[in-house]
Structure 1
Amino acid sequence: MKTVFLTLLLGLVCAAQEAPAELDPSQITGDWRSILTAADNKEKIEEGGPLRAYVRRFECIDSCSSLSIKFYAKFLKQCTFLNVVAEREGDVYQVGYMGSNFFELIPVSENSLVVYGENFDGVKVTKVTQLLAKGNDVTEEEIQQYEELNKERGIPTEHEEDLTQTDDCPQ
């Protein structure tokens, strides 16, 4: 089990080479809205799936050494508010939610951010991404950058879901 976690963490650390070493808390902290999500195991992010989340806010703690994440998940079509705190090791955060999660934050622009994570549910590792915006939408260029990142990580474009179409949870 420890071997799987170490392999997962090492893979994310290697993948994080393009991310800046230090996150700017002012760029991360704030209100966010989930725009798109994708996963190599699409059923995990489909409506009712365990990894389908509607992010609302990130809050850096201690220069982003910890990250408070406020989001909604839908269970039986009911919005459930959750607040989890992820701990940072290098460029990678770890948090327990529907298994073990290791993720990195990749700023795309001043108003958009990609979250790339790997979830281990005890059996299988699922690669998952989300494109977040500080407003209600993103540019075509930001979508292209998001899709390129998914391609680099082995996540098919056809596994992409538009979260704005199903996000009826409170702001």
Structure 2
Amino acid sequence: MKILLLSLVLSLLLAGQSEAQQILSELSGEWRTHYIAASNKEKITENGPFHIYFRYIEFDEGDGTVDAEFYLKKGSMYVSFLSHTDAGQNEVQILHVSKSSIIGHVKNVDEDGNETDVVGIINDKLSDSDFERFKEETKQKGIPEENIVNFIDNDDCPEE
């Protein structure tokens, strides 16, 4: 999987959502994974391919690029990634962008042909309205509420 956020931004730009394009440069900075939900919860639990902790994102409007730092937890260790290629084939769709959050959807088909829907929210500070929007998007993708995993309260990844 390419960097989730890079794919989200590219799909956003291709979709021509001008409001979102205007705020991309304002979104650079520290970001955190708050919640991820998946139709197959194993994909987002510890050691799963979508158990991702975002740290920093920088948008470059001029170059049309995104630099992102995120961690995957492997056992008791955290591994820093710029890309992640062992999750299978993925279709990425941006569902919502605001000045404080990005909600994205990934349709994953793993090496065995199993399909999983994943919805995640990353942001700098989670508002009640952002969380409600995340839950709505999760429900629309057919993911049960009990498959929502709170990442922010369990984030013990290193700061550097």
Q: What interval of TM-score do these two structures reach, taking the shorter chain for normalisation?
A: 0.7 to 0.9
- Following TM superposition, the consecutive aligned residue runs of length 4 or more in structure 1 with deviations greater than 4 angstroms are 61-66
CA shift for structure 1 position 118: 1.8
In structure 2, the CA distance between the partners of 1:125 and 1:64, relative to structure 1 (3 Å rule), is farther
The yes-or-no answer on 1:37 pairing with 2:42 is no
Tell me, yes or no, if the aligned pair for 2:54 and 2:70 is still in contact at 8 Å. yes
Q: Structure 1: any 5+ residue segments left out of the alignment?
A: 1-12, 85-94
The yes-or-no answer on 1:117 pairing with 2:94 is no
Q: Secondary structure at the match of 2:156?
A: coil
Where does residue 99 of structure 1 map in the other structure? 88
Where does residue 131 of structure 1 map in the other structure? 121
Q: Secondary structure at the match of 1:80?
A: strand
Number of corresponding residues: 144
TM-score between the two structures when normalised by the length of structure 1: 0.71
CA distance in 1, matches of 2:27, 2:108: 22
More strand by share: 1
Tell me, yes or no, if the aligned pair for 1:118 and 1:128 is still in contact at 8 Å. yes
Where does residue 49 of structure 1 map in the other structure? 48
Letter aligned with residue 98 of structure 2: S
CA distance in 1, matches of 2:94, 2:76: 28
Where does residue 144 of structure 2 map in the other structure? 156
Tell me, yes or no, if the aligned pair for 1:108 and 1:142 is still in contact at 8 Å. no
In structure 2, the CA distance between the partners of 1:53 and 1:64, relative to structure 1 (3 Å rule), is farther
CA distance in 2, matches of 1:73, 1:128: 16
Letter aligned with residue 113 of structure 1: I
Q: Secondary structure at the match of 1:71?
A: strand
